[in-house]
Every structure is written in C-alpha cells, then in structure tokens.
Amino acid sequence: MALLTKAIRGTQDLLPAESYKQQYVEGVMLDAAKRFGFREIRTPVFEHTELFQRSVGDTTDVVQKEMYTFTDKGDRSITLRPEGTAGAVRAFLEHGLHNEPLPVKVCYFTSCYRYEKPQAGRLREFHQFGVECLGAAEPEADAEVIALAKDVFDTLEVKGLKLFINSIGCPQCRAKYQEALREYFESHREELCETCQERLRRNPMRILDCKSPVCSEIASKAPVVLDYICDDCRDHFEKVKKYLEAMNIEYEIDPTIVRGLDYYTRTVFEFVSQDIGAQGTVCGGGRYDGLVEELGGPHIPSLGFAMGIERLMLLLKSQQTPMPEDERCDIFIAAADDEAKLCAVKLASDIRGDGLTALYDVTGRSIKAQMKYANKLNARYTVVIGSREIENGEAALKDMDTGESITVKLDTFGEDFMGISVQQAVKGLGDGIEFADGFDLNSLFTGGNK
C-alpha cells in the first residue's frame, strides 16, 4: 500500500499552502524575462537521447549516470530532459527561428529529471526557470543575461547570494588547457576513480566536477582554465566584467568554475548561497557558442542560464522572505435550504462572472458549519440566504474583517449600479475607496441610486 501513497524518492509535491508562493516567484521571473525581452517557449518533457548526449556531452555525469532513459514501444531511445537548453536549441533549429532577426530570446519553466542522490536542494525531479539568448556573440549579451538573473533575485529580496564568474575559453584555447590538465591528471592516474580514468582519455575537464572525494581533492590542485585563455577570450571576459561593473553588479572571479555540462564556452557563472547547505548553487549558466552548430545548425553563438526553483524556494524560506498573502475568497454564500441553494448557485455564478471569488457549500453542511467553513476559508464577505431573505429579496452582506453588515438586493446583486460594478463596490468597501459627497454606498446594493 505504501507504494500507492508515497511519492517516488527524489520527487516532491507542491501543495496549495505553498503553491501560491511559487506562483508569485514564477510571476517575478516571467515579469523580469519580459522586461529583458525574453518570450516563453515550451518544449516536450522527453527528447531523443542523442540530443542530450550531443549537447550536454557524453562524458558528463549527467549523461553517464543521471539520465532517465528508456526505450519506447517504437524501439526509440528516449530521455526525460535533464535540463532545458538542449530542447530549446533543438526547437530553435527545428522551427527555423535562426532565420529570424537575431538574437532570439526565449525563457522557460521546465521540470527536469536527474538520477542524483537526493538531499536537501537536490531532487530527481526538479524545476528550472531558464533563459536562452540565441545569436548574440557580444559581451553585452553576457552582462544582460547575468543582469536578468540578478534582477529576479533583487525583486525577490534574496540576501547573501554571491555571483561567481569565470571564462573557460573557446575550443582553441581549450585544447592547450586540456593538454595541461591531461599532463596533471596523468601523474595521479592510479588514484582516480574508474570513470575519471576514462575521462582522462576522452575529456579531462570533466574530472574537475567528479563528486568522488579523492578525485575532487586531486582536481582542487589542477591547473585553472583562466590561465590558458586566448587574447580574444580574455578581451571578451574583460568587457563582461566592465559591463557588470557599470550596472553595479558585484561579482567574484572563481577560476575553478567549469560547469558540469560540455557545451559551455567563454563566460560561465553561478549564483551561490551559503544559507541552504551543500546544494547552494541557485542559478548557473554561461555561453555555448558552439552548441547550435554541434546540433546541425549554423554557427550561432548563444548563452543562457537556469535557476533551480526548489532551491530558490528553500532559500526564500530560510531567509523568511516576505511573500504576498494567499488570495482570499471574496464572498462565501451560505444557504439554508434547497431554494436558498439555488439562489446561492446563481449568485455565485454572477459574482464569479464579475471577476470575484465566490464560494458556497457543496457538502451539505448546516448553516453554522458553513459559517465556520467560511471563516476557515478566510472569506472577506459572507451572505446568509434562507427563506426570509428570499421572501424579502434582500440579504445581509457581512464584512468578516470589521463585522459590519450592509443590505444587498438579491435580484441585482451581480449587476452594475451607477456604472460601478459590484466588483469595484466590494473592493471599494475593502479598500476604503472614497465616493462622491452624498453618495450612499448602501444604495449600490439596494438599488437606491439607480
């Protein structure tokens, strides 16, 4: 039975008590993306396995150990996306977006799947907010993308996040670096784990992000890529730094950042927090000037980042970041009998049509229990309808915060009066809108000023 009521290890549910907070955070992200000119893209949750092998790189931990790969009924090798960049670039090429004026700037919210050891901030199904700026070679683009991530964190009032940047050069300077790395790791060959011994042959840079303690100890003393980059890459990096400084974005250069995915070139960066334990990287990204070509397209230098939504939510929680209140139920309509229920259903329908949240009981509760439930829902207003109200055509609209009541006419409840909709009237009551002298607010509901 436990199998039926327990989610799979490394996955988590987002319950209503938390989901509204995440909606707010996602709203902040989308708003920032819009202000920076990024528009949403949605791509499938699974892709051909080869796409990730080619882009993320088949010597990376992600491809070698962490992908959820299966053979479908048509005998194809399919993989649940471990990240969002590959799918976005695939869609960019498939739909010919590279023929549009560049850059094409897209953003996305995706679920991602990696078979990693679950711990705080590390899940097997997690979510990312990411952006990709496709077709922008200049350092202004690097600064812009970093500034967008920073904008999100600033709007959310995240504290203590540090931005680390590095340049890992282009394929030309990389060759020299790979050589230096190979020489260094060769002298430690016997101590390296089996996977890293294979990496030493195929891609020694990947040894730098091996999670085994012995390999990472050896890797910590390895040559750093920043010492090997060519003049063009250095010039690009210097300009990125200048632009960041011009925007007052503080950064630290961390020459050990190489990122765990193969497609990166030149600028790489991470936003890291000390407040959420070992998995403190809330956002990571960088340039991938060769990826579009690697996937069969033209040479289109590009870059982007992704932030882990669960990690960010953990961080906001640990910092007790103020969040907006959950939306309230505007009106709860309590009904005493069948005739009143009919009236409640109709009223709710009118009120919802006017853009407000209107609820009524659907479980056959007594009036007393309905009112208790309305309290629990934190309803702003309640109306109780029974045979007397129906007979008089009027009911009392109670402001649950102040305890005050006003009389409302049932037959015109949901209609506009004097050009002011019920929505505005009710919001007006709550927000203390001032009406013209001599205007009787009650008349809005009784139809007196009609």
Chain contacts with ligand HAM (rule: CB under 6 A): 83-85, 114, 116, 121-123, 126, 128, 130, 132, 260-261, 281-286, 304-308, 310-311
Minimum CB separation from ligand HAM for residue 132, in Å?
5
Indicate the residue among 115 and 373 with the shorter CB distance to ligand HAM.
115
Task: Name the H helices within 36-155.
Answer: 49-52, 61, 85-94, 139-155
Indicate the residue among 126 and 360 with the shorter CB distance to ligand HAM.
126
Residue-wise DSSP of 165-219? EEE---HHHHHHHHHHHHHHHHTTGGGS-HHHHHHHHH-GGGGGG--SHHHHHHH
Indicate the residue among 173 and 315 with the shorter CB distance to ligand HAM.
315
**Residues 182-217, buried b or exposed e (16+ Cβ, 10 A)?**
eebbeebeeebeebbeebbeebbbbbbbbeeeebee
Alpha carbon of 178 to those of 53, 169, 208, 212: distances in Å? 20, 11, 11, 21
Indicate the residue among 83 and 330 with the shorter CB distance to ligand HAM.
83
Query: CA 373, CA 390: separation in Å to the nearest integer?
Result: 22
- Token readout for 389 is 């109200």
Minimum CB separation from ligand HAM for residue 53, in Å?
15
Minimum CB separation from ligand HAM for residue 353, in Å?
41
Query: CA 180, CA 62: separation in Å to the nearest integer?
Result: 25
Of the candidates 340, 409, 414, the one whose C-alpha atom is nearest the C-alpha of residue 370 is 340
Report whether 297 contacts 95 (CB < 8 A): no
Give the residue closest to ligand HAM by C-beta.
308
Maximum distance among all alpha carbons in the chain?
94
Question: SS3 for 226?
Answer: helix
Minimum CB separation from ligand HAM for residue 259, in Å?
6
Query: CA 288, CA 273: separation in Å to the nearest integer?
Result: 25
Indicate the residue among 89 and 374 with the shorter CB distance to ligand HAM.
89
Minimum CB separation from ligand HAM for residue 152, in Å?
13
Indicate the residue among 103 and 286 with the shorter CB distance to ligand HAM.
286
Minimum CB separation from ligand HAM for residue 326, in Å?
25
Residue 405, classified by CB atoms within 10 Å of its CB into exposed (0-12), middle (13-18) or buried (19+), is middle
The owner of tokens 């005739």 is 339
Minimum CB separation from ligand HAM for residue 267, in Å?
10
Minimum CB separation from ligand HAM for residue 91, in Å?
14
Indicate the residue among 104 and 283 with the shorter CB distance to ligand HAM.
283
Beta pairing, strands 331-335 & 381-385:
parallel
Minimum CB separation from ligand HAM for residue 228, in Å?
22
Alpha carbon of 277 to those of 87, 136, 211, 272, 328: distances in Å? 30, 35, 16, 10, 35
